[in-house]
Amino acid sequence: MVTTVTSLGRSGLSDWLIQRVSAFVMTAYLIFIVGYLVMNPELTYAQWAQLNQALPMRMFSLLTILSIAAHAWIGMWCVLTDYVTVRLVGPKATAIRIVFQLGMIAITLLYVIWAIDILWGIQVNG
Amino acid sequence: MYSDNHIKVLPAVDNKRPVNLDIGSISLPITSYVSILHRVSGVILFFAVAVFLWLFDASLSSPEGFESVKAMFANPVCQVIVWGSLAALAYHVVAGVRHLIMDFGVGEDSFESGRNSARLALGVAIVAIALVTGWIFLW
C-alpha cells in the first residue's frame, strides 16, 4: 500500500508498459544523436543550435526528457522498494524510503524544467 | 460483506513471510550479474542525466559555451565523469534492448537461451564501452 502510492502509474502493468515505450523513445533519440555526431565530425555551434531549435527536434528532445523522467521514476521506485525495506534496512525503512522517493521525484521534475529551459532558450546567432 | 478484520489481517500475514533464499550464500549465474549491472547502471544514469543536461546546456548557451564543451574533453576529470556516464548508458541500453527483445517472446523459452543472450549482451556492451573509451581518451 505504502509502495503503490509512490509508483508512477499506480499499477504494475501500467508501469511495465510506460517503461518499455519510454525505453524505445530514448533509444531512438540516442541513435539519432550518435548518428548525427558521427556524420558531422566538424560540427559548429550554428549548425548544432539550428538543429536543436527546429520545432521537430525540440519535440523529439522534449519527448525524450519526459521519457527519461517516467523511466527514472519507475526504475528508481523498483530499486527503492526492493532494497529499502524493513527486512534489509530496519523498522524505519518506510520513512527512509518515502524521503528518498520524494527526493528522486523532485530531482526528476527539476531535470524536466531544466531541459525545457535549455530547449526554449536556444539562440542560433549566439 | 467484508468486515474490518479481513483488511487488518492480510498485511500482518504478508509481513511475517519467511525469507528462504539468502542470495548472498549462493553462487549466481551470469544472468543475475547482467541483471544487477542493469540496475546499478540505471541508478548511475539517474545522476548522469545531470551531466548530460549540463553538457547540453553549455553546448547550446553560446558559441563560446559550445567551444568550452569541446575543450572540456581535454580535461582528465571531465573525461572520467563523461566516460562513466556514457559507459553506464551504453551498458544500460544494451541490457535494456535484450529485455525488449525478450518481451517479444524471443530467447525467453529456456534458461539456456537466457544465459546465451546475457553473454551476448555483455559482449556487445564491452564493445560499446570500448568505443566510448576510444572516443573520449584517444580520439
pLDDT value at residue B12: 47
- Does A18 score more than 70 pLDDT? yes
**How many interchain CB pairs under 8 A, A with B?**
60
Please, which pLDDT band fits residue A107 given cuts at 50, 70 and 90?
A: very high
Q: What is the dihedral of CA A75, A77, A81, A84, to 10 degrees?
A: 100
Q: How far is CA A5 from the centre of its chain?
A: 20
**CB-nearest partner of B100 from A20, A72, A126:** A20
| Residue B117 is assigned to a structural domain of this protein | yes
CA distance B119 to A116: 39
Listed as ranges, residues in chain B with pLDDT below 50 are 1-3, 5-10, 12-13
- CATH architecture designation of domain A4-119: Up-down Bundle (1.20)
Specify the number of domains making up chain B: 1
- B53 part of a folded domain: yes
> Quick one: average pLDDT of A8-16?
88
Greater pLDDT, B119 or A1: B119
Residue B1 lies in a domain: no
Is B2 a domain residue? no
Instruction: Examine residue B100 and state whether it is found in any structural domain, yes or no.
Output: yes
Instruction: Kindly state the average pLDDT of the residues A56-78.
Output: 97
Domain assignment present for B9: no
Determine the Cα angle at B14 with ends B12 and B19, to 5°.
125
Q: Is the pLDDT of residue A49 over 60?
A: yes
Q: What is the mean pLDDT of chain A?
A: 93
Q: Does the beta-carbon distance from B42 to A79 stay under 8 Å?
A: yes
Domain with B64 in it: what CATH number? 1.20.1300.10
Q: Does B46 touch chain A (CB under 8 A)?
A: yes
Does a structural domain hold residue B113?
yes
Residues of B in contact with A114 (CB under 8 A): 53, 57
Indicate the length of chain A as a whole number.
126
pLDDT of residue B14: 55
The whole-number pLDDT of residue B42 equals: 97
Where in the sequence is the domain holding B34, given as residue range(s)? 30-138
CA distance B19 to chain A (A): 9
In a domain, B50, yes or no: yes
Q: Which of residues 19-78 of A touch B (CB under 8 A)?
A: 20, 23-24, 26-27, 30, 44-46, 48-49, 52, 68, 72, 75-76, 78
